[in-house]
């Protein structure tokens, strides 16, 4: 459990450091972040009573730092609500994975969570942003090209998917290594689990 909490803390620090340093923007890596992996893997690896809450609280804390101190954006808005709902869906996928864990299922849930986040947040933008026509073509624009003057929304999705998969693999790998280390320590001390 310590490893899971430590990974959540490191992922939040990464998110804050990348945003404040500007590295993500300079590399065109918008949305390449551990957000989906935190929600998904938190639900898989943290104790059940806190599995969905801790990742969202960690994200909220990083949002306070980023929105309140760096971006000077509102801390509470409908956009934030949509993002948190989309991330909570990744947590629900994590609960499903937890019932029958496996790497294939975990990575499939990561892809599904990325798609859900992308579709949910871009549909909400289409619905509320006056720059999009409220037609089928406007919705397709919201899901692919986005608004003029911004990178294409599909590029955001590619970065979200890549970040979610990478950070999910890192999280799962660290948890497996942590479990092996505990098992080896118990075996060498003669303690049985």
| pLDDT tens per residue, range 36-91 | 998 999 999 988 888 888 888 888 888 888 888 888 888 888 888 999 999 999 99
Q: Is the pLDDT of residue 152 over 60?
A: yes
* Structural domain boundaries, residue 60: 2-189
How far apart CA 193 and CA 172 sit, in angstroms, is 21
**Angle formed by the axes of helices 103-128 and 136-143, nearest 10°:** 130
Which parts of 58-123 are beta strand (E)?
Answer: none
| pLDDT tens per residue, range 4-40 | 777 778 878 888 888 888 887 766 778 888 889 989 9
- CB within 8 A of 103, min separation 6: which ones? 172
Provide the whole-model pTM.
0.86
Radius of gyration of the chain (CA): 18
Q: Taking residues 172-178, what's their average pLDDT? A: 89
Closest CA to 94 of 112, 109, 84, 114: 109
Number of domains in the chain: 1
């Amino acid at each position: 459990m310590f490893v899971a909490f430590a990974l959540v803390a490191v992922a939040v620090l990464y998110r804050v450091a990348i945003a404040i340093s500007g590295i993500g923007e300079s590399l065109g890596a918008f949305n390449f972040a551990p957000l989906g992996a935190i929600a998904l893997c938190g639900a898989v690896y943290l104790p059940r009573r806190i599995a969905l809450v801790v990742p969202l609280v960690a994200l909220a804390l990083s949002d306070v730092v980023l929105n309140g101190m760096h971006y000077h954006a509102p801390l509470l808005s409908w956009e934030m609500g949509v993002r948190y709902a989309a991330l909570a869906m990744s947590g629900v996928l994590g609960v499903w994975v937890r019932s029958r864990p496996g790497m294939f299922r975990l990575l499939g849930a990561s892809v599904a969570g990325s798609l859900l986040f992308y579709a949910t947040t871009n549909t909400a933008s289409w619905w509320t942003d006056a720059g999009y026509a409220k037609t089928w073509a406007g919705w397709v624009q919201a899901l692919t090209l986005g608004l003029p003057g911004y990178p294409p929304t599909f590029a955001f999705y590619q970065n979200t998917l890549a970040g979610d998969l990478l950070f999910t693999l890192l999280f799962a790998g660290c948890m497996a290594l942590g479990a092996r280390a505990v098992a080896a320590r118990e075996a060498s001390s003669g303690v049985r689990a």
